[in-house]
Structure 1
Amino acid sequence: MKTPLLISLVSLSALLSYTVNADPKTPGTHPGYTTAEMLANGIPNDLHMIDVSDIEHELQGKSPIAVGFDIDDTTLFSSPVFYRGQQMFSPNGYEYLSNQKFWDKANCGWDAFSMPKEIAQKLIAMHQSRGDDIYFITGRTASPCHFTTDYLKKTFHIKKMNDVIFAGSSRTVYTKTQYIKAHKIQIYYGDADGDIISARQAGAEGIRVLRAANSSYKPLPKNGLYGERILRDSQY
């Protein structure tokens, strides 16, 4: 029988991932390592680590493409938003993640407390210099406002800003896949396992961004679980 703590952790993982692993036939091909393990023990030799410069070199001389970004723990360190939401709406649990009032707070103002990740700044600057189209696709529940879109545009100095796509969550499908495919995105950056799988389902490459070890989004994913490429020092 699962203990109450284990049930809570499982519930948190399912709700925060926003796109639950809907395909039990998609096992990992590698044991993978969490960011905490990598920080404590160093980067294992069996991980495929890359830098922004590697991607830039690969794209050199090629026509502009469409690229996509997850938001939470990929583009923004948004743990302050989720911590505040839990304290306000469900201090003893994770019910706040299914509360529209929380999402309206998060999407319509609280993202001002989300810190931009350095890796996102570098990636976005590089892709903009190439003229690539940039899309943000999140598993968050949508709200009737444009604050997060405006915040990302201002924070990352995006010249041609597309509205944030709120894919929502599902227990049966990867909700981001259809949007990655519809916008012909060739590279999708994300910290969660579902981001890598969604990209591959859509025919794109999913590149792993390290989730910060102090993120409120637990448990930490196993980076390299699917043999994907991983951005070095991207926990910041």
Structure 2
Amino acid sequence: MKKKVLVFSFLLSSIIFCAGPKVPYTNEGFYTNEQVQKPVHFVSAETIRESLEGVDPINVSFDIDDTLLHSSGYFRYGQDYFQIPNDKRGELSYLYNQKFWDYLAEMGDEHSIPKESTKEIIKMHLDRGDHIFFITGRTKHSKDKNYTSTKLSKTLKRFFDLPEEIYVEYTGEKPLDGFKYDKSYYIKKHDVSIHYGDSDDDILAAREVGIRGIRIQRAYNSTNPQKMNGGYGEEVLINSAW
């Protein structure tokens, strides 16, 4: 019975971290943990690079959780140690606890695992001279007021061998400026041409702004429920669960 409660709570968590309106899938995609993968538009670092031949340097953006990092351990820890007593949301109450987000920011993801698949993508874009931005649906630290240096941005610099620190945009899952999806405003703000992300909202935000969205597969053991890779006919980075 306890296992069923945990699974249900993670499903609810996916609803909380999905700010934009739901859109039914239009294509036959596949879930990362399926035994048989359906035919979708797979891409690799090499094919993306080839598609950009002759194109001047562009701006690209990346989601963080399950896109750049295996970070589920922190969220599982939050469920055990940052619950709000007597809160009607139960095991999900930690997601509304600013102390959890402060803890996560102070840890700076030093115990998360960088994904090898996006390491290769980032290297390809750096070699091209493209400009990289990071956009997350997380809530920022209570003391952070500006788009500035944080422990997370320093960790990402180290994990992904970046030539300089890249500051992180925190959306708090709140759409701005009339957009339907929380990352749309920031994608537009940085004049991004390609956005990489694991969630449906990542792909739908890219489409809302009219740019190319590429799906990153979630890890098999992610605490986030699996989404249908290629479910909107989008490109999917091959072998990107790792």
More displaced, 164-173 or 94-103? 164-173
1:185 to 181, 192, 205: 192
The one-letter amino acid paired with 1:33 is F
Other-structure match for 2:163: 159
Other-structure match for 1:223: 229
Change beyond 3 A, Cα 1:210–1:6: closer
Q: Structure 2, unaligned stretches of length 5 or more?
A: 85-89, 145-149
Other-structure match for 1:48: 41
Structure-to-structure mapping, 1:1-236, within 5 angstroms: 8-15=9-16, 17=17, 19-22=18-21, 24=22, 26-37=23-34, 40-41=35-36, 43-45=37-39, 47-90=40-83, 93-143=91-141, 144=143, 146-170=150-174, 173-218=180-225, 220-236=226-242
- 1:176 and 1:20 mapped to 2: Cα distance? 9
- 2:33 and 2:62 mapped to 1: Cα distance? 23
- 2:9 and 2:48 mapped to 1: Cα distance? 38
Q: Secondary structure at the match of 1:199?
A: helix
Q: Secondary structure at the match of 1:113?
A: coil
Q: Residue 28 of structure 2 contacts residue 38 of structure 2 at CA under 8 Å; is this kept in 1?
A: no
Determine what percentage of the aligned residue pairs are the same residue: 40
Q: Secondary structure at the match of 1:123?
A: helix
What TM-score does the superposition give when structure 2 sets the normalisation length?
Answer: 0.86
Q: Secondary structure at the match of 2:91?
A: coil
Measure how far apart 1:28 and its partner are: 1.8
CA distances 1:92-122 after superposition (whole Å, capped 9, x unpaired):
6111111111111112215111100001110
What TM-score does the superposition give when structure 1 sets the normalisation length?
Answer: 0.88
Measure how far apart 1:179 and its partner are: 0.6
How many pairs are equivalent?
A: 225
Q: Structure 1, unaligned stretches of length 5 or more?
A: none
Q: Residue 12 of structure 1 contacts residue 94 of structure 1 at CA under 8 Å; is this kept in 2?
A: yes
Q: Residue 43 of structure 2 contacts residue 238 of structure 2 at CA under 8 Å; is this kept in 1?
A: yes
The one-letter amino acid paired with 1:210 is Q
Q: Secondary structure at the match of 1:189?
A: strand
Consecutive aligned runs of 4 or more in structure 1 exceeding 3 Å deviation: 3-10, 170-173
